Amino acid sequence: MLRNLPFFILLLLGSNIYAQDTLPKNQKALKELSLELNEQFEQNYQRALERVSNSEATEVVELTSGQKAILYGVDSGGRLLYLKSHNKQAAISSGIDKIQKGGELGYPLSGKGIHIGVWEVGDLLTTHQELRGKVEKKDGPSNIGMDNHSTHVTTTIIGRGINEAAKGMAYDGESVFYTAANDLSEMANEAAEGMLLSNHSYGTILGWDDGVWYGNTNISTEEDYLFGFYSNASANIDRIAYDAPYYLIVKSAGNDRGDGPRSSDQDPEVTVRIDGPYDCIGHQGVSKNILTVGAVNDVLNYNGPSSVSMSSFSSWGPADDGRIKPDIVANGVDLLSGFSNSEDAYASISGTSMSAPTATGALALLQELYQKKNDRFMKASTLKGLVIHTAKEAGGFDGPDYSFGWGLLSADQAAYVINVEDNNNHLILEDSLFDQKEFEIESDGKSPLVVTLSWTDVAGSPVTAAVDPIDLMLVNDLDIRLEGPDGTIHYPWVLDPSRPSLGATTGDNFRDNIEKIEIYTPLEGIYKLKVTHKEELVNGKQDFSLIISSSTFSTAERKKFLWRGESDSNFFDPANWELEDSDTNETFPTKDDIVVIDNTSLSSKINWSLDQDIEVYSLSVESENDSLILDLNGNSLNVFGVLNLSANSRVENGQVNFLEGDTFINTVSFESADLVGVDIQFSGDKEWEVSGLHKIDGLAVEKGFVRIAGDSLLVETLLIQEEGGISIPNLTLENLSQVSIEEGEMLNEFTGTHFNFGVGNLQLSWNGNAENVEKVKVEEGELFVNGQIKLDSLIINNSECTVNGNIESSFLSITNSTITFESSAFVKADELNLVASEESRVGFIGKDSDFPGEFLLNKKEKRCFDNIDVKDVKLSGISTINLQGSSTLEGETTGWLNYDNCDEALFVDFEVLYSTKGSLSSLINLSEGAAELYTWTIGEEVVSSVTELSDEEYVFQETGEVLVTLKAEGEGGEKSLSKYVNILEPTLDFPIIEALSSNMIYVITQAPSYQWIKNGIVLEGATSNRVSTTDFGTGNYQVLVKNKETRFLSDIYNVAITSLNTHRNHKYLNLYPNPVSGNTLVLEFEHSYLGILKWELYNVNGVALKTGSSKKQHQKFTGTINFDGVSKGFYFLELMFGNESITYRVVR
């Protein structure tokens, strides 16, 4: 039991929600690294091609096995480097079959949503039936063309399982695929985009290969120095991993162990005559931050370390600095998978190339499980640490070794730790170390105590090419120490690279970025754990992952019962059961036991008729040809974990209860089995994923969260209590009579869900605020709706619907039905469809006149209906509804209209165009009905009152939000609509007309649209930025310029024999105040002319609004013009004297 965990740990466990493409990473550094590595590859590859052209070497090497290798570079000593694939019942060996969807542990895992990178030497067959539509190929063809190995590896990871024997480990996953020559640059780029996992089942041809020596004899004739050597490529791989902390790179260990020459006289200068057995993992495989996988034979039944036998070829460590490699082992012998010969070809091959994709697929499932439980993915160091933490012991000694690494991959044990992690017996922690961390762990003295520390280290510094340099590549050296109740200090496992065949001891591990402490028989009491570091940390801190278990991490203690009875035998008779791995059995299954009906049963059809409840951990009918007929006789089947039935099965007359077990996520698969007279209840604080369910009487979720997949479900009652939750997206529920949802902390998901109610007395109760329900439909029933619910559509046909609460529906359709509103009930709709006739009326009826109901229609439109009855229900919203003909209104019915003629009903709508400061804005009146007066109000100021439907022009003087209101008044009352209009800065300059020549004028402003006007009349065809006065003659010219946001009308430019006109202040005339702020404009005119002065005020359309005249008897004249009744906007004042005139723009 973990004690006194710091509070920040609890925060870390519940935060940081990431999608795969948004995982935290140093994207800039990764992109730059990708470019850097690409440039290095291109330069190095060109040097290699130059060497090939000057020698007998080739770009492609054909090996005697038929395998091909491709040139990819040259080493520092001038040796040509070639890449080749590492070729030599995988799901069972690594426990993957148990955690795949439908497996006995009940995890709903298939790799769905996980994108996995695959790099290979040759091309794969993307159209293979196992891969079609699942692989995105992202680079050009390989030099060796189509390759069986590539298709085999990719199918092992994500093959969809058309051939069940070749189903991929993560069969619902998807892949991006590259050929391997320029892998490092491509990996860095993909890591920058959020890649989570990638598989690399290839490596450099090293040492003896195909009977030929490929080592660099200029450096050594005793060993290929690249075995175990931390090279620039090793460091670059670690750089990628460090900058992408969620990206785990999986690498095959290689198949070099035991390789030698074809004959005794082959390459006689080479003194070493066989590779290995130790120190024969290539340089890419000894990077620190990756998972290197070795290959073992099938392990169909693990009974201890001796169950795991090493393959004849898998390469062994250590790395030159003594680090433990490989990290783990998995089955890599005789794996069946897809081949490239045809779209349905399969073959079995062996190699660490096969064990690596087995591990990669398992890792995808573990990430899927962790994400399902925690809404985020694990860091790469956590995932690597977890599989090492839970690996099964292999080899002749306790602890790690240089052949099996940390042991046999155990996906089921890793999944178990994820599933039962509770900060109590199991902890998975991601944290950062600055100085030191301390934890307390309580041991019961019975269960083993295991602590694993893992971190993604800073890339090491490669040394000059040499054989077996011992320079340490670990940069940030972290340590764990565990102090027991008696004061004993427990140290992590260590190996001695100078004696690689010896077993592990414990001590100070100063080589590996993985440390693991195991105490098989701990004392009862408190253990104190310290996480520290040596010397100063590079970058000032080190992120780390810590996995602690003070209990077992497997379900091995469960007993597994196999049915061996006759067809109608008694469930409770021990004679009908076989206990797996036991010669005797004296009992029947109970709540902790696994129950299996398989194809070895005596009968393919089993009938159980119960006279009492039964309890099991899991019940599985494994063969699709077998069937279980279970008559509960009013009793209960209580399941604490998993239920898997076959399509031929049937359960009837009782209740199936899913209770709280010890795993977080469980699967329930009915496979369309018949359930007759059965209620299902979920009562455990866990998660369930349900499939194949098509008909039940009732479904209740008392506690926990349930996800149901499918298209439709016949169910009479659905009850979700406050501590429960349900996800039923795109599911149609048919024949409902009662739905009760009590919203709690869990977020129910109803996206695309249809609730179709049956007949009779029906109830829909929602305590909370439901979102995203697609449709509720009732036909010929009496539905009572209680609570608050939001949905896309509510359809009521030939029914009575009573509302007590709030309903908000995007679409509401009512046919021959009545909605009854309890006190203050509220119904809102965006779209309304009413179907009514004299015989089949529609009603909106309030039950309480003191607290009337309210119906809000939130769409700007006018609707007219006949045969509608409204009583004590108010209408609100922006719609107009007129009830005519035989419709009736009674009581409180504010908002509804009741005109005999639909055309008379008032409906108000408008829009504002060109809403920018100073622009000539248009107020467009879109109203309908018999209005006698329209009043426009801007802010609090009435700017226009007109008796006819017309548009208005207005100039907004300031930016910001302005309230615009249009009110329509008629005999039947009034209707108004208000909108806030956001006034922006103009996006055009104000137009100024200038003379281009004696017969051509133009406007300086650049605009998408021009329209010239003379004397208030549009000049047809004059739509450029200039106009010829010869073509159109003398007069008052203006130009209208506009774009989508702004519209300006210029001042008048007068073309005449004599013109004193200008848009600027005139030497003879002065007008003020301009803009006119009150109701008076003062006119001052100083000129030698004496006689009658005439003036005319007209709008932008050339319509005269006011005229006047005065007699000028002196040099200077002063007069006033009354602007009373002139609304805000642009106007023009023309002053005429003798044969001359002056025109000015005036703003009101």
In the predicted model, what is the mean pLDDT of residues 839-861?
94
pLDDT of residue 12: 28
- 2 has pLDDT over 50: no
Q: What percent of the chain is modeled with pLDDT above 70?
A: 94
DSSP state of 392: B
Residues contacting 746, CB < 8 A, separation 6+: 705, 723, 724, 725
In the predicted model, what is the mean pLDDT of residues 1110-1132?
87
The model's confidence at residue 908, banded by pLDDT at 50, 70 and 90, is very high
Q: Which two tokens stand for residue 10?
A: 């609890």
DSSP state of 1100: T
Instruction: Please answer whether residues 253 and 403 qualify as being in contact, where contact means their C-beta atoms are separated by less than 8 angstroms.
Output: no
pTM: 0.68
Q: Give CA torsion, residues 168, 174, 180, 182, to 10 deg.
A: -160
**CA distance linking residue 321 with residue 234, whole number of Å:** 13
Looking at the DSSP assignment, which residues form a beta bridge with residue 979? 964
- 600 has pLDDT over 80: no
Q: What is the pLDDT of residues 1063-1076, one digit of tens each?
A: 334 567 888 888 88
Instruction: Please answer whether residues 171 and 211 qualify as being in contact, where contact means their C-beta atoms are separated by less than 8 angstroms.
Output: no
Return the residue matching tokens 């408008």.
910
pLDDT of residue 581: 74
Q: Which two tokens stand for residue 250?
A: 């999986």
**CA distance linking residue 217 with residue 213, whole number of Å:** 9
Q: Give CA torsion, residues 76, 77, 83, 86, to 10 deg.
A: -110
Q: What is the pLDDT of residues 206-219, one digit of tens each?
A: 999 988 999 998 99
4-8, 442-446, 949-953 — which is least confidently predicted? 4-8
In three-state form (DSSP H/G/I as H, E/B as E, the rest C), the secondary structure along 552-616 is: CCCCCCCCEEEECCCCCCCCCCHHHEEECCCCCCCCCCCCCCEEEECCCCCCCEEEEECCCCEEE
Ordered DSSP codes for 335-369: EEEE-SSSTT-EEEE-SHHHHHHHHHHHHHHHHHH
CATH 2.60.120.380 region(s) of the chain?
Answer: 426-454+468-549
Return the residue matching tokens 């248009």.
922
Q: Which two tokens stand for residue 471?
A: 């320079």
970 or 103, greater pLDDT: 970
Q: What is the pLDDT of residues 738-769, one digit of tens each?
A: 999 988 878 888 888 999 999 889 999 887 65
CATH 2.60.40.3080 region(s) of the chain?
Answer: 1060-1148
**CA distance linking residue 942 with residue 934, whole number of Å:** 11
- Does 2.60.40.3080 match the CATH number of domain 1060-1148? yes
pLDDT of residue 1031: 84
Q: Which two tokens stand for residue 625?
A: 């040809």
Summary mean pLDDT of the chain: 88
The model's confidence at residue 601, banded by pLDDT at 50, 70 and 90, is low
**CA distance linking residue 168 with residue 96, whole number of Å:** 10
- 99 has pLDDT over 90: no
**CA distance linking residue 215 with residue 270, whole number of Å:** 9
Instruction: Please answer whether residues 1086 and 1068 qualify as being in contact, where contact means their C-beta atoms are separated by less than 8 angstroms.
Output: yes
**CA distance linking residue 1035 with residue 1033, whole number of Å:** 7
Q: What is the pLDDT of residues 1008-1027, one digit of tens each?
A: 999 999 988 899 999 999 99
Instruction: Please answer whether residues 482 and 529 qualify as being in contact, where contact means their C-beta atoms are separated by less than 8 angstroms.
Output: yes
9-23, 561-575, 832-846 — which is least confidently predicted? 9-23
Instruction: Please answer whether residues 784 and 759 qualify as being in contact, where contact means their C-beta atoms are separated by less than 8 angstroms.
Output: no
pLDDT of residue 87: 52
- Strand pairing category for 174-179 and 115-120: parallel
Q: What is the pLDDT of residues 700-722, one digit of tens each?
A: 999 999 999 889 999 999 999 98
pLDDT of residue 461: 96
The model's confidence at residue 201, banded by pLDDT at 50, 70 and 90, is very high
pLDDT of residue 6: 31
Please state which of the four CATH numbers 3.30.300.20, 3.90.1010.10, 3.30.70.260, 3.40.50.200 is assigned to the domain occupying 23-420. Answer: 3.40.50.200
**CA distance linking residue 43 with residue 206, whole number of Å:** 22
CATH 3.40.50.200 region(s) of the chain?
Answer: 23-420
CATH 2.60.40.10 region(s) of the chain?
Answer: 910-983, 987-1055
- 351 has pLDDT over 50: yes
**CA distance linking residue 325 with residue 404, whole number of Å:** 8
Instruction: Please answer whether residues 1126 and 1148 qualify as being in contact, where contact means their C-beta atoms are separated by less than 8 angstroms.
Output: yes
Quote the crossing angle between the two packed helices 352-374 and 380-389, to the nearest 10°: 110
In the predicted model, what is the mean pLDDT of residues 239-261?
95
79-93, 238-252, 842-856, 1032-1046 — which is least confidently predicted? 79-93
In degrees, rounded to 5, the angle at the alpha carbon of residue 956 between the alpha carbons of residues 951 and 958 is 165
802 or 34, greater pLDDT: 802
In three-state form (DSSP H/G/I as H, E/B as E, the rest C), the secondary structure along 1056-1075 is: CCCCCCCCCCCCCEEEECCC
Residues in the chain: 1148
Helices (H) and strands (E) in the chain, counts: 11, 78
Q: Which two tokens stand for residue 969?
A: 């008044």
pLDDT of residue 215: 92
Topology of the domain covering 426-454+468-549: Jelly Rolls (2.60.120)
The model's confidence at residue 88, banded by pLDDT at 50, 70 and 90, is very low
- 19 has pLDDT over 60: no
In the predicted model, what is the mean pLDDT of residues 273-290?
95
In the predicted model, what is the mean pLDDT of residues 413-435?
88
In the predicted model, what is the mean pLDDT of residues 610-639?
88
Residues contacting 520, CB < 8 A, separation 6+: 448
Q: Which two tokens stand for residue 331?
A: 């089955």
Residues contacting 46, CB < 8 A, separation 6+: none
CATH H-level superfamily of 910-983: Immunoglobulins (2.60.40.10)
CA distances from 830 to 778, 810, 892 (A): 19, 5, 23
pLDDT of residue 332: 85
CATH H-level superfamily of 987-1055: Immunoglobulins (2.60.40.10)
- 7 has pLDDT over 50: no
Instruction: Please answer whether residues 712 and 735 qualify as being in contact, where contact means their C-beta atoms are separated by less than 8 angstroms.
Output: no
pLDDT of residue 387: 97
Indicate the residue type of 93: S
